[in-house]
Structure 1
Amino acid sequence: MNIVHCTRMLEVEVHQRLRSLLRTEGIPPWPHHLTLARLVTRALRLGPSAVMEIGGLAGVQGHYRVGYLAAALLWPGAVVLVAPADIQRRWLQVELPRLRVWLQVDKPLYREQAPAGCTDGLLLLTPQRWLQELLTPASPLAQLPTLIDGLDDLEQWAETVLTQSRSPQDWDEWVWAQPPCAELIRETQIALTHSLLSHPPNPYEQWLLSETEQNWLQAVWPPPSPPGWVRWATLERHLAQFTLHCSPLWALAELASHWPQRPWVGLGLALGHLSLPGVTRFRFAPHPRDEVLHLYAPAHLPPPNHAGFYQAICQELHRLLPLAQGLVVILVEEQPLQTQLTVALAAEFGSRVQRERTALEENGILVTGWRFWQSHQERLPAPSLLVIPLLPIPPREQPLVTARIDSLRHQGRDWFREYLLPHTLAQLQRTVAPLRGGRVALLDSRVCHRSYGAQILTALEPVIRYSRLAAFGSG
């Protein structure tokens, strides 16, 4: 069967063909397959561009992909598909082969590079490759409809692509390239080394460069011409070496003039933190009955800045752990607290306790940071209990976080509600998504006592909140 070439009828065709497949083939059940497929097709055909938040287990398990891939296969022309490598593997090994057979479509597939003058087919790109193409003047990809999966990490993708870095080895190259300035370059390197080593250690060993340090660099590494970029350094203290970085303060703003000229659609688990003017937003919420989150959020614990916080968390963990019937995951990004909890729990539970490892016992206790958990959770069994001692508020020890807060403060804006809180909500939504229908313990009592606590609970809906452990254990 040929691809439909009448774009006005394309939404109807996608709907009918997909509905037929849902009746006859083993497509994972999800109540919004048809709606998503129609919305994607309409956005690509008429605009405006759209972002679609897929909440709950469907977003984690990828059931929603059938809808937008069907729309892409039936689109009368070339379509760009952007996603990280793990999603692309799923496309190529599972969804696309099945859909091409079911839909009787022989649309060609290309990875990373399409033939010159390509007017048909699916072009699969990694986020980094796609962004590099967009930043290239007169890139032909800007003229193609684009679908982006995993859009949650767009900000991080953009920062990675746009950030300029200079390693310790670059100083040698500067010396070789500018022999008359060799002495000045070495003096600058030594001065920066001493200055950075004078900073007290922090968990990230990263700092914004001071005005004095930036002045030292003027002759060696001039600042970028556009305003709104910041310079910072990563220190390897044990080697007395550092890497310099220059990053845009707001990476998405830097991309604003490079977005595809044709409509595009982005999909992800939690997208409220992304500032994308001019797009239409849709949200497919978790199932209100089958995906209720059972949340233990006690109000009696001291706040994180209280001297008794660590002891209170340890006591609460000893009450929580006996309730678990399988893997327990304790999410702690702060390195000192992560170390303290790992040591304390290992002293009592022995080898059951592991820190950021994937080889775990069936009833293991994994103490991990947020990034490690998000990167490896697909390879681990679903935890019977997820414990979050602290809200994942972006740490002010990170240079870009500090710079953004300072920028918003100088503009008289609410830096917490405009920047920190949206990122916290998105992180929580992504993290609890695999636990829908299961149990999560959020031990940061600011959820109960601060004005933004209601927003956090709303973001986690559907949720049943327990303030007493006895009710949580039997719920």
Structure 2
Amino acid sequence: MLEARSHQQLKHLLLQNSSPWPHHLTLSRLVARSLRRKDHTLIQLDPRSKDLWWLGLLVPLCLEAKDAVMILSDQQRRRLLKVELPQLLTKGIKLPCWEGHLPPSGNQLWLMNHSELIEAHHQGHLKSRQLIIPEADQLSQRLRDSMALSITPQDWERLRRAHPSAEASLMQLHERLSRSLFTHATRANAQVRLDGSEIQALKDLMRLLGPSPSPWPAVLKADSRFWASWAELDHRLLQWQWHLQPLEPLQNLPGLLRDQPSVLLSGSREHELVRTELDAAAFPATVIARLNEPNLQEPIPLFAPRRQPLPNTEIYAEHLLDQCRRLILGRPGITVVLLDDQQLRRQLTSELAAEFGRRVVHETTAPESNGVVCCRWAWWLHHQDQLPLPEQLIVALLPLASVESPLTAARVESLKNQGLDWFRDLLLPEALSLLTPAIAPLRKNHGRLAILDGRLRGRSWGKQVLSTLEPWTPLQRLLPD
């Protein structure tokens, strides 16, 4: 059987090169079993197993890659092609890979990104093929980004040129939309949700006009009940860009996970959030396995004083500046300050730069040896591998999505309409899923973590945040090393 062959091959490799990860053989047998049975398997990995699972996943595919499709992000594809496959090749093991929009005809592993997955699903190229999806906890967000539509002023021009008979109507509708958007903007260069009636008026007109240039046919198909729609304003040029994103992309791709056998690897602690998304997509999990690891990590020093002000108070910006000064003063290593609020982040960056000079940078991957990097959570998660290991992380604001974001507001509104708890079912689980990967580099460097958000101690759900951060030890006061 494929399971036994994979087990023996992997065991031979591990004898040559030992690995600290204890689940290689288990993962290999699970993947081989799913490949043989063509079933739906969900494997829940410990978040600390980042990039350690490749060998257990690839060995069964080296033995049987026929009809297998692996969906990878750009970063994962680079690692596969530049690191994992060359290492296997040095052991005499080959894994033929196929890249392109058309399926392979031989016994090759078909590699594709998330945009190509969507296209292959629409074209019917995935039938009877088995999907292999690492980091399945990121699947919804990556599909959402791939399905996103962006309508620029140039796209409006192309639409008018394609239908000169309707130019006056299109210009009138665009001008009406522009006046409404700029009137309702609360600040310069704001993001404003588009009114559903205006969008419907545009779609009704486009249906009468006939075929339109890309991307307008995709806009016509986007159901406003299941898509978020907003405008990003440019007050300097008095122009705006129209953005559309699906609320729940898996539900916009019916049958994607239901009709194809699949192996999903999830590395998130928020297993319930992942399961809820998969259940909504009708993923018929026949095997669910959780590969936990013993908690042998050293406790991380956590500085989180009680009675800190809440983010919506007037003194919060002053509190952040004062505490950041104390935390940064005299530190010889890298400090990363995490803050999603753009206005507050730029203000804090400017004030810290006035205090510490060129040490302070904004979202730069080349700081000084004792530099201070102020950045968004998403930027840090994407670029942390390009930075030196930090000595400390300062969480200025917990990564709870703001309802000022049109996409978040639309998703919250959808959950409200379903009678669900939008905070505990959406915002909190998504925030908790970011904490473990964000502090992982800190644990490697035995650094310290500071959380300056008063909600950690002032809200009941703060206990869930502290639980996610385990193991940690309280740091009661800041003393010099």
Q: Tell me the TM-score normalised to structure 2 length.
A: 0.87
Q: Where does the alignment leave 5 or more consecutive residues of structure 2 unmatched?
A: 208-219
Indicate which of 303, 323, 327 corresponds to 1:296.
Answer: 303
Question: Shift of the alpha carbon at 1:252?
Answer: 1.9
Task: Give yes or no for the alignment of 1:354 onto 2:361.
Answer: yes
Alignment of 1:19-418 (within 5 A): 19-25=11-17, 28-46=19-37, 47-56=39-48, 58-59=49-50, 62-75=51-64, 77-102=66-91, 104-113=92-101, 116-118=104-106, 120-136=107-123, 138-139=124-125, 141-201=126-186, 205-221=190-206, 224=221, 226=223, 227-259=225-257, 261-270=259-268, 272=270, 273-274=273-274, 275-277=277-279, 278-279=284-285, 281-285=288-292, 287-290=294-297, 292-322=299-329, 324-418=331-425
Contact map agreement 2:396 2:451 (CA 8 A) in 1: yes
Question: Which residue of the other structure, out of 448, 454, 472, is the alignment partner of 1:464?
Answer: 472
Which secondary structure state, in structure 1, belongs to the residue aligned with residue 278 of structure 2? coil
**Residue 404 of structure 1, CA deviation:** 1.3
Q: Which runs of 5+ in 1 are unaligned?
A: 1-8
Alignment RMSD (CA, Å): 2.5
Maintained 8 Å contact 1:409/1:415? yes
Q: Distance in 2 between matches of 1:115 and 1:180?
A: 42
Q: How many residues align?
A: 456
The CA deviation at 1:389 is 1.0
Residue deviations 1:292-328 (CA, integer Å, cap 9, x gap): 4433222221111122112222222122224733100
Indicate how the Cα distance of structure 1 residues 231 and 341 shifts in structure 2: closer, same or farther if over 3 A, else same: closer
> Which residue is equivalent to 1:433?
440
What do the CA deviations read for 1:383-435 (whole angstroms, capped 9, x no partner)? 01011111111111221211111121122211101111111111222212222
Q: Does 1:453 align with 2:453?
A: no
> Counterpart of 1:4?
none
Distance in 1 separating the partners of 2:391 and 2:288 = 33
Q: Which residue pairs with 1:16 in the alignment?
A: 8
Deviating more after overlay: 441-450 vs 269-278: 269-278
Change (3 A) 1:100 1:204: farther
* Contact 1:113-1:123 at 8 Å conserved across structures: no
Indicate if the aligned counterparts of 1:174 and 1:220 stay in contact, CA closer than 8 A.
no
- Contact 2:332–2:369 at 8 Å: present in 1 too? no
1:29 is aligned with what amino acid? P
The DSSP-based 3-state class of the residue aligned with 2:297 is coil
Cα distance change of structure 1 residues 219 and 239 upon mapping to structure 2, 3 Å threshold: farther
- Aligned-partner residue type, residue 474 of structure 2: Y
SS in 2 for 1:324: coil
CA offset at residue 286 of structure 1? 5.8
Partners of 1:345 and 1:353 within 8 A in 2: yes
8 Å CA contact 2:6–2:63 kept in 1: the answer is yes
Contact kept, 8 Å, 1:168 with 1:241, in 2: the verdict is: yes
1-side partners of 2:135 and 2:421: how far apart?
A: 28
Residue 361 of structure 2 contacts residue 374 of structure 2 at CA under 8 Å; is this kept in 1?
Answer: yes
